[in-house]
Amino acid sequence: MAGDDKKLLQALIILVSSVLIISLISAGATFFVIMSKTTPATKKVIVEKPELGPITSLGEFIVNLADPTESHYLRANVVMELDYGSSLKLAEEVDKRMPQIKDIVISCLGSKTSVQLQDPENREALKQEVKDKINAVLNRGQLAKVYFTSFAIQ
């Protein structure tokens, strides 16, 4: 009987060990499958940004704002970025049309109220308006962007 108990004990140990090993393997496989589905491999995507075009400073502008009741002033430095790869002829045209461009900027800035210019969305719309009006008079290329490097309402 002692021999039968020993064989039974060995068989039981082998059976329990087999079940334990199979359980660990299936748990590991399940973990691997779940992790591979929930966390996809992240690839770092490099997005090329457009090159910066030539920059032309228009200088500082001080204009009266269109406030109906009180007198407010705007002081702003305006910078234009020409399209990347634009020809030298565009830079020459911008230099020749500088008085016309500055007049456009003054007209656009002075047509706004202090309340309108306090809203960042309206400032972005103002940049777009200035850009569109200047692009309308340019023949040899386009502006890419208009920037305000300083902007103070008083």
Phi, psi angle pair for 87, to nearest 5° = -75, 165
CATH assignment at residue 138: 3.30.479.30
In this structure, the answer to whether residues 39 and 94 fall within a common structural domain is no
In this structure, the answer to whether residues 94 and 64 fall within a common structural domain is yes
DSSP class of residue 111 equals: T
In this structure, the answer to whether residues 8 and 28 fall within a common structural domain is yes
In this structure, the answer to whether residues 38 and 105 fall within a common structural domain is no
- Percentage of the chain beyond pLDDT 70 is 95
**Which of 100, 125, 117 is closest to 64 using CA atoms?**
117
In this structure, the answer to whether residues 83 and 24 fall within a common structural domain is no
> How many domains are there within the chain?
2
Query: Does residue 35 have a pLDDT over 90?
Result: no
In this structure, the answer to whether residues 98 and 24 fall within a common structural domain is no
Q: What is the bridge-based pairing of β-strands 143-153 and 73-82?
A: antiparallel
- Domain contains 86: yes
In this structure, the answer to whether residues 11 and 80 fall within a common structural domain is no
In this structure, the answer to whether residues 4 and 30 fall within a common structural domain is yes
- Domain of 114, in residue numbers: 55-153
CA dist 60 to 45, 74, 103, 149, 150, Å?
Answer: 40, 10, 13, 9, 9
Q: What is the pTM of this model?
A: 0.67
Query: Does residue 43 have a pLDDT over 80?
Result: no
Instruction: Give 90-135 pLDDT, tens digit per residue.
Output: 889 999 999 999 999 999 999 999 999 999 999 999 999 999 999 9
- Domain contains 105: yes
In this structure, the answer to whether residues 64 and 102 fall within a common structural domain is yes
CA dist 49 to 46, 52, 141, 150, Å?
Answer: 9, 9, 20, 25
- Domain contains 50: no
Measured distance CA(78)–CA(145) in Å, rounded: 11
